[in-house]
Amino acid sequence: MKNISILLMILFVSSCAPVRVNYDYEKTTDFKAYKTYNYYADLNTGLSELDTKRLLNALDEAMQSHGYSLSETPDFFIDIKSSEYQERSRNNVGVGVGGTGGRVGGGISIGIPVGQNKLNRQIIFEFVDENKNGLFWQAVSESSYSPNASPEKREVQFQAIVTKVLQGFPPEIK
């Protein structure tokens, strides 16, 4: 029952705040060779300590459900970086005045922004094989962000981000 409620929350959050992800990877990489992972010891995500724990817990659960295991001697390392930025509101109201008469015409138009700027967060996930290829897979996620969200909502949002990010790992090589 708990899993169903978590799934519904993920669907609710992802429908309200879409997560956009761009993927990139090294074409020559044999992704089937990777079974274990770990995080860099000096991981600096740019998130608060609590949000970092939430994100890593969500990532661990998802990686393990995909058949990967956390190891002290990993096949690859994961590096995570994030940043916040404001997106200007694209909604505006236009007010115009115009006139015409004979051969004379004129007009004035003013655009008034409506609504607040949206706060967004970009999280970059990098998978690095230090023995072979170096960086071999990367996902850049972008989603809206509310600094006043409850811990439960933050956890659900991180789960939605990780789910969307790992949809592209391993990539389907054609």
Per-residue pLDDT, 80: 97
- Which residues does 88 contact at the CB level (< 8 Å), separation at least 6? 113, 117
11: pLDDT strictly greater than 50: no
Res. 3 pLDDT band, cuts 50 70 90: low
125: pLDDT strictly greater than 90: yes
Q: Give the number of other Cβ atoms within 10 Å of residue 135's Cβ.
A: 16
Mean pLDDT (the chain) is 83
Task: Determine contact, residues 76/128, Cβ cutoff 8 Å.
Answer: yes
User: pLDDT tens for residues 91-111?
Assistant: 666 655 556 666 665 566 666
Per-residue pLDDT, 102: 63
User: pLDDT tens for residues 26-73?
Assistant: 999 999 999 999 999 999 999 999 999 999 999 999 999 999 999 999
Task: Determine contact, residues 74/125, Cβ cutoff 8 Å.
Answer: no
Of the candidates 136, 138, 119, 147, the one whose C-alpha atom is nearest the C-alpha of residue 48 is 147
Domains of the chain with bracketed CATH: 19-86+118-174 (3.30.160.670)
Nearest-angstrom CA–CA distance, 172 and 108: 54
The interaxial angle of helices 2-16 and 151-165, nearest 10 deg, is: 80
Per-residue pLDDT, 106: 59
Res. 8 pLDDT band, cuts 50 70 90: very low
Indicate the pTM of the whole model: 0.74
Per-residue pLDDT, 118: 76
- Cα angle: 2, vertex 162, 68; to 5 degrees: 90
Res. 173 pLDDT band, cuts 50 70 90: confident
